A and B are shown apart, each in its own frame.
Chain A
């Protein structure tokens, strides 16, 4: 991960305030990229965990700068297309964005008949519309410029049915359909668009009673029961994918020279992808 594959290039990372987004941003900085970080949205109703705030986002930017690269921390609500456009305009101070990493996402757990409108709306707005907004701004800029690389990070519920996560699955499957469509349209434009799907990560978003109960398949289950259930579920008998493995995969896709690899979904899924029909 230390090769300066991204020297002089500019990356924009949504959801860059922590977790996979922040880790990817720092790895890109180590590889020589300047990084614009989008995160720190306004309050939402559906997440049962704290969202990233502007201070945390700025702290990641500081870590980028500590690696000798430039950074812009841009608090952004990715649900708002205008705000995303403004964030890209602000990122342009670093140079044209050639690397886009879509990590912004929210998570909640709900049975379909009990799901609130906020759970549906916020999931679709952030996880699907947010991805669209970023791609919609980035793609024309990349076409007009020297092309680019786009990686969309989704949960494994984008690959199969996921009980109590039908809203999450709808948004993730939708994001994959979006990425593949854009990959076809941009295949001759020097742009590669790929998706990384991961089984659960032990990050803030997942560290909630509702996620533990969903993973364990029983009400009242806690962290231990969830980890046990995930170990049983995964062919590789570990509960959580290390964040670094996701980062490595994203960097591989961002750093590839040609556009032969586009429109793909790469599963980092502890062997669960062996259950996929292909």
Chain B
């Protein structure tokens, strides 16, 4: 029997990447899921999920024998996060776990950063986490139980050159999570952040990101950039597999982690050991 038998897990940004992996892994351990995604490409962002991708997540969940409800939802819009919550309650009657995972990659040198690159990043990677949590928190408080995991980043633990927007959003997620953790702790609800290093998803594996790591090469390949990625952490790992962050998310959502709240858990090959706090 899995750790999440008959639990209901809501996941944003689930049409690909880590969000999809979270969905499948929770389902394998017995959970029914609600998966949402914008299913639309924002011009400044790394490759984003699609309707086909979200449908693929649903079938991967269903292959495990569990149920999946999917919806297109924009984390920038509080009303759409409320609609996601309502869809979960209508389908399953409760929400046990929220994984506020949706996020984009978009970068640029600060003195040239476009307004769109700044604004969309804060709206999605920070506002999106807040709006999902704001939507679900009253329901969890009413039940007196729940688990919330928000995706931050190692770039939320230090300054990010060419990534001022991303660092700002991911720092913001940690401050938000710690605050909400204190508020919801009396009800036994845990709220934690996950801070991964690069993960092998479309946000990491795309030409623009490769070019940032190997500006000296015309059309760098994964092999060309792996070394540069690996220098960021003492284990020398270029990127994690999504299953590595899913392991951490499932742990934080599990019964074993019931007294772990307000944490920002680094899954980062020791990158975090360079940070002062």
Q: How large is the interface on B (under 10, 10 to 19, 20 to 34, 35 or more residues)?
A: 35 or more
* In the complex, A67 has a CB within 8 A of chain B: no
Q: Are B168 and A132 in contact (CB under 8 A)?
A: yes
* In the complex, B218 has a CB within 8 A of chain A: no
Q: Which of B36-44, B57-65, B175-183 contacts the other chain?
A: B175-183
* In the complex, B230 has a CB within 8 A of chain A: no
* In the complex, B144 has a CB within 8 A of chain A: no
What separation, in Å, do the CA atoms of A143 and B181 have in the docked complex?
Answer: 41
What separation, in Å, do the CA atoms of A166 and B164 have in the docked complex?
Answer: 21
Within 129-143 of A, Cβ neighbours of B (below 8 Å) are at 129, 132, 135-136, 139-140, 143
Q: Are A166 and B130 in contact (CB under 8 A)?
A: yes
* In the complex, A184 has a CB within 8 A of chain B: yes
Determine chain A's interface SS by DSSP, over half rule: helix
Q: How large is the interface on A (under 10, 10 to 19, 20 to 34, 35 or more residues)?
A: 35 or more
| Inter-chain contacts of B168 with A (CB < 8 A) | 128, 132, 174-175, 177-178, 181
* In the complex, B163 has a CB within 8 A of chain A: yes
| Inter-chain contacts of B122 with A (CB < 8 A) | 124, 128-129, 174
| Inter-chain contacts of A113 with B (CB < 8 A) | 134, 137-138, 141
What separation, in Å, do the CA atoms of A125 and B226 have in the docked complex?
Answer: 37
B51-71: contact bitstring with A at CB < 8 Å (1 yes, 0 no)? Answer: 000000000000000000000
* In the complex, A6 has a CB within 8 A of chain B: no
| Inter-chain contacts of B181 with A (CB < 8 A) | 161
Q: Which of B25-33, B105-113, B243-251, B265-273 contacts the other chain?
A: B105-113
- Given A173-B175, A174-B169, A180-B158, the answer on whether A136 and B110 have CB atoms closer than 8 Å is yes
Within 175-193 of A, Cβ neighbours of B (below 8 Å) are at 175-186
- B110 interface neighbour in A124, A139, A167, Cβ under 8 Å: A139
- Given A112-B137, A124-B122, A129-B122, the answer on whether A167 and B130 have CB atoms closer than 8 Å is yes
Q: Are A139 and B161 in contact (CB under 8 A)?
A: no
Determine chain B's interface SS by DSSP, over half rule: helix
| Inter-chain contacts of A174 with B (CB < 8 A) | 122, 126, 168-169, 171-172, 175
- Given A129-B122, A185-B162, the answer on whether A158 and B134 have CB atoms closer than 8 Å is no
What separation, in Å, do the CA atoms of A140 and B236 have in the docked complex?
Answer: 35
Q: Are A120 and B277 in contact (CB under 8 A)?
A: no
Within 114-129 of B, Cβ neighbours of A (below 8 Å) are at 115, 118-119, 122, 126-127
A183-223: contact bitstring with B at CB < 8 Å (1 yes, 0 no)? Answer: 11110000000000000000000000000000000000000
What separation, in Å, do the CA atoms of A164 and B184 have in the docked complex?
Answer: 10
* In the complex, B227 has a CB within 8 A of chain A: no
| Inter-chain contacts of B113 with A (CB < 8 A) | 136
* In the complex, B159 has a CB within 8 A of chain A: yes
| Inter-chain contacts of A177 with B (CB < 8 A) | 156, 159-160, 164, 167-172
What separation, in Å, do the CA atoms of A156 and B262 have in the docked complex?
Answer: 17
Closest CB in chain B relative to A178 CB, distance in Å: 4
* In the complex, A163 has a CB within 8 A of chain B: yes
| Inter-chain contacts of B100 with A (CB < 8 A) | none
* In the complex, B8 has a CB within 8 A of chain A: no
Within 15-65 of A, Cβ neighbours of B (below 8 Å) are at none
Within 233-278 of A, Cβ neighbours of B (below 8 Å) are at 263, 276-278
What separation, in Å, do the CA atoms of A183 and B164 have in the docked complex?
Answer: 10
Q: Are A166 and B179 in contact (CB under 8 A)?
A: yes
| Inter-chain contacts of A186 with B (CB < 8 A) | 110
Top 9 nearest A-B pairs (CB, nearest first) are A161-B178, A173-B175, A177-B171, A180-B159, A174-B172, A166-B179, A181-B164, A169-B175, A113-B137
A-B CB contact pairs (8 Å), 13 listed: A112-B179, A114-B138, A120-B127, A124-B122, A128-B168, A136-B111, A158-B175, A161-B177, A163-B179, A163-B182, A164-B183, A178-B167, A185-B162
Extra 8 A-B pairs, beta carbons < 8 Å, given A173-B172, A181-B161, A181-B164 = A113-B137, A161-B177, A165-B179, A174-B122, A175-B168, A180-B158, A181-B163, A183-B159
